[in-house]
Amino acid sequence: MTKAKTEKKANRPGYRPEEYSYTVAWSEEDKSFISRVVEFPSLAAHGITQEKALREIRTVVNYVLEDLASGKELIPEPLGKRQFSGKLNVRMSKELHRRLAAESSSQGVSLNALINTKLARS
């Protein structure tokens, strides 16, 4: 999707922090949980528990959303609200294309089915 299709103008109703996609993982280096938000890759927050890290990143996202709205800047659309077509155009080397085509042929499946199976397993 293009950036224009995945961002919302600030003068429309805003998104809420809980609509965004979060990850929380332990960091041995930081000796704490680190939370991140998919739609804002530069944001991160720490917490001594997973719950505290998640609460902290949601607070940060709330401040960022308020700041973007007050500055009339574009606000990224939450991943869960985006529409996907189910189509993906992938570029690859000729050699990889050849190997995948041979593998799909030997398995008696289409190249598309083989790639879908491999992606689903990853």
What's this model's pTM, rounded to 2 decimal places?
0.69
* Domain match, 33 and 92 both: no
The structural domain count of the chain equals 2
* Domain match, 9 and 53 both: yes
Using alpha carbons, list the distances in angstroms from residue 52 to 27, 57, 73, 115.
Answer: 14, 9, 29, 39
* Domain match, 13 and 70 both: yes
* Domain match, 53 and 92 both: no
The enclosing domain of 99 has a CATH number of 1.10.1220
* Domain match, 94 and 75 both: no
pLDDT in tens, the chain (122 residues): 455 555 554 444 589 999 999 999 999 999 999 999 999 999 999 999 999 999 999 999 999 999 999 999 999 999 999 999 999 899 999 999 999 999 999 999 999 999 999 999 98
The enclosing domain of 63 has a CATH number of 3.30.160
Could you tell me the residue range of the domain that residue 95 belongs to?
85-122
pLDDT tens sequence across 90-121 = 999 999 999 999 999 999 999 999 999 999 99
* Domain match, 37 and 68 both: yes
* Domain match, 51 and 100 both: no
* Domain match, 34 and 92 both: no
